[in-house]
Structure 1
Amino acid sequence: MFYFIGNFFYRTGQLKNLEKALEICNRQSLDLNDILLLEFLKHCLHTMSSRNLEEIITTMEFDSLIQNKEQFYNNLINVYEDVPGTNHNVLIAYYIVLNYIYPNNSLQHGDNMTPNQHIKLLKRVHSTLPDIDYKLLLNPETAYETFSNAQQTGCSSHVLSRLLKNLPEKIQHCIKFSRSTSSASDVCQDNIDFDQLMQNIESPADIDKIVKLLSQSHNVNDVWVNALKRLLAFQPFEYRISISVLKYTCSKHNFSQKELEDFSSIPNVNRTLLFLLYLLSGESAVEAAAISYFQTNHELPDSVLDTILEYGLVEQLFECEEIMNNLTCRVLVGNSGKNCRIVCEQLVSARRNLLAGSLHLTYNSVPAALKTNVAAIEISESYLGRNTKDK
């Protein structure tokens, strides 16, 4: 009987079929209610977007249908075990379900992180390293090896350093992250007069030379702060060197929330660089201000757009249609399949399926005769819109 009832709805995942199956169980006095609910969830996790799944379980008041919540949670853990750590979208959907059924503040998933914290971290991990195994990354026994392997994928040390700051503290301690830079680490810094160097600054290039002489092992916090103050006061003709300094500085030095907020009071501060610094710093307390700025100031230099793509910052800005259009254009100029995929996924999440599908087809050099609106919609719904990263 269970086989018949399960297959009744499992083939399509339609809510009406689940309701009919539950009705049959109730009429026949079959104790299969929670089993059917679990099978329905397993099916939906792999076949629909997390947003659609959240809408469905909210509309049907899914939690009220569960008869034994404790046992149901134990069964949900088994579902989690079957999801590959590289399938970030399914994991996000899983934690959305977990958070809905078991309030965010009353249950933790065995790792001192709430479902909402997992969702936020998963989105950040996916936008930075879409192929990394999330489960291995959060396992103290495998975190170092997993993170080290990510360094071999071509992802810059600056990007990895920003991601590292967002990982749980115990995982950060497990990862012995060795940055490879061209800094002059062998120079005896006790003999360097940084005050004199600061007085001779005439361009962002001069600041670049100074920060390359600094080291985290020396008590030079004031120099880091003053160097950034000078940099943010420049209105560069082109942003390439200034952004390079921001990347390097954020990978080497952790600014406090107060230091970051104080930068905004610099006379004639370059606000584009300031708010890009806020995003690169990984400091959540200033992120909202940066997002607000970029949502209303979307005419950005190409190097700024490229940095947003490189650092996986698209997810924070996808609600702004203008900046997403600009990022879409930059994707077509570059040669990063990762950037294309991330932008397409965010466009689908914003329900801009036609643009997402068109971008995917154009980037992958599909012949013009095949790049129809129908093809674009189909690719966005089948490949880009589903909760899987299998190609």
Structure 2
Amino acid sequence: MKVLVADKFEKVGLDGLKALGVEVLSDPSLKEQALEDKIREYQPEILVVRSTKVTAPMVTGTSLKLVIRAGAGVNTIDVEAATKNGVAVANCPGKNAIAVAELAFGLMLSIDRHIPECVGELRRGRWNKAAFSKARGLFGRTLGLIGLGNIAQEMVPRAQAFGMRVIAYSRWLSPDVAGALGIGRCESVDEVAERSDFVSVHVSLNPGTRGMIGKSFFEAMKPGAVFINTSRAEVVDTAALLEALDSKPIFAGLDVFEDEPATAEGTYEGPMKDHPHVYCTHHIGASTEQAQEAVAIETVRIVEAFVKSGAVLNEVNTAKSGPIAAVLAVRHDGKTLGAVQKALVQMGFTPGEAEHVKIPQGLISKIALDRVPGPADLRALRRVDGVF
């Protein structure tokens, strides 16, 4: 079996792939037409990418059976085209969560304590303690989270360690889950904006989240509040954010931008780079050694399962399946999700998108279903080992 790696990839990952006995070709320079041509020439069954875009022609009439995104988001992959052509798409959720959470707090602290300006002034030989001694601090402030996936869950204990109150909005956040995490629950994104001193966005990009942060959200933000986005630029109405930054005293810390360069180096001339209330980084949220090694190891695990059994771990194609009729919440020991999903399939369900929340005893998994489970279904699930 052949594996084509079309992005920079950690040595531990390349070594792990070769140890599986597969043929590996690594060429980080492959992009667009060059990548499509190489796929047709080399005929790999598996393609591994990070930020490289995977387009419909690359998965149409080619040898590919599996595309792995060495990261979490799959918005750079044409999942719909892949699904139509029988190509599975998998990702590595949660492996970069700590790194992204760390950057989000770095942006929060940088804005609150004016760290970039302090550095710049001192490098110019200017001492200005009077100007930079004014900061609100994080202790006692309220952090609002939009989304409650792996990254947001890493935000919670870090915020609590800073002495912050945490509130959150997630379409699947129930009172019992909020209570287990020790956080407050909001009914809408606008409520989060209204109640928070800092807001941090942690949602994946999909049709339901595109543009979800808009004018009413920014109008609801408190004066002096800080908006952080390390997820995807497209979940925010950029025009509404710019209008708010121009019209009221709020700040933004951004790691993602519309029309950002697709390459590691390039030119960015977007409207955010010169705004005095915006603190920018270069889409580096997942870029720590710890995160990239974890992603590489997870990628090897996905390839190994596929080579040995044809199973696709962390498959995202199924998340695109039909309308959601019900959301099933299952408390389990954290090792039982596969058994739960297998049981659901045996009962005739098609499990869809899933969201998992860590609790001291394990996980609460919320799984989208294509029909409403009956009492007999629920009794059968309770008999699965590891389900509470």
Q: TM-score, normalised by structure 2?
A: 0.31
Q: TM-score, normalised by structure 1?
A: 0.31
